[in-house]
Structure 1
Amino acid sequence: MIRQGSEAPLFGEDDDVINTRKSNIKHPIVSFFHLFFRTSAILLYVMCDFFSSRFIVCMVSIILLLSCDFWTVKNVSGRLLVGLRWWNQVDENGNSHWIFESRKQTQSQSTTTGAESRIFWLGLIVCPIFWILFFFSTIISLQIKWLAVVVMGLVLQWANLYGYVRCKVGGKSDLKDIAKGYLGAQLFKQALKTTEEP
Structure 2
Amino acid sequence: MLRQEDAPLFGEDDDTINQRKSKIRHPLASFFHLFFRTSAILVYLLCEILSSSFIACMVTIILLLSCDFWTVKNVSGRLLVGLRWWNQVDEDGRSHWVFESRKAQSKNTPSSAESQIFWLGLIVCPIFWIIFVFSTIFSFKIKWLAVVIMGLVLQWANLYGYVRCKVGGKNNLRNMARNYLGVQIFKQAMNRTEEP
**Structure-2-length-normalised TM-score:** 0.91
In structure 1, the residue matched to 2:112 is 114
Q: Which moved more, 1:125-134 or 1:165-174?
A: 165-174
CA contact (8 A) 1:99 1:171 kept: no
- Partner Cα distance (2:89, 2:43) in 1: 36
Whether the 8 Å CA contact 2:5–2:99 is kept in 1: the answer is no
SS at match of 1:173: helix
**Which residue of structure 1 lines up, in the alignment, with residue 140 of structure 2?**
142
Q: Following the alignment from structure 1 to structure 2, what is the Cα–Cα distance between the partners of residues 173 and 191?
A: 26
Q: Partner residue of 1:75? A: 74
Gaps of 5+ in 2: none
What is residue 3 of structure 1 aligned with on the other side? 4
Q: Distance in 2 between matches of 1:174 and 1:186?
A: 18
The residue that corresponds to 1:62 in the other structure is 61
Would you say the 8 A contact 2:90–2:96 is kept in 1? Answer: yes
Q: How far is 1:102 from its partner?
A: 1.8
Match of 2:173 among 172, 175, 180: 175
1:35-54 equivalence runs, <5 A: 35-54=34-53
Would you say the 8 A contact 1:40–1:65 is kept in 2?
Answer: yes
| Farther-moved stretch of structure 1 (161-170 vs 96-105) | 96-105
Letter aligned with residue 78 of structure 1:
G
Unaligned runs of 5+ in 1: none
* Cα distance per residue 1:85-120 (max 9 Å; x no partner): 1111222333221112222222x7143100000000
What are the within-5 Å matches in structure 2 for residues 159-170 of structure 1? Answer: 159-170=157-168
Give the deviation of 1:4 after TM superposition. 4.3
Identity fraction in percent? 74
Question: What is the RMSD of the two structures over their aligned residues, measured on CA atoms?
Answer: 1.8
Q: TM-score, normalised by structure 1?
A: 0.91
The code of the aligned residue for 1:129 comes to I
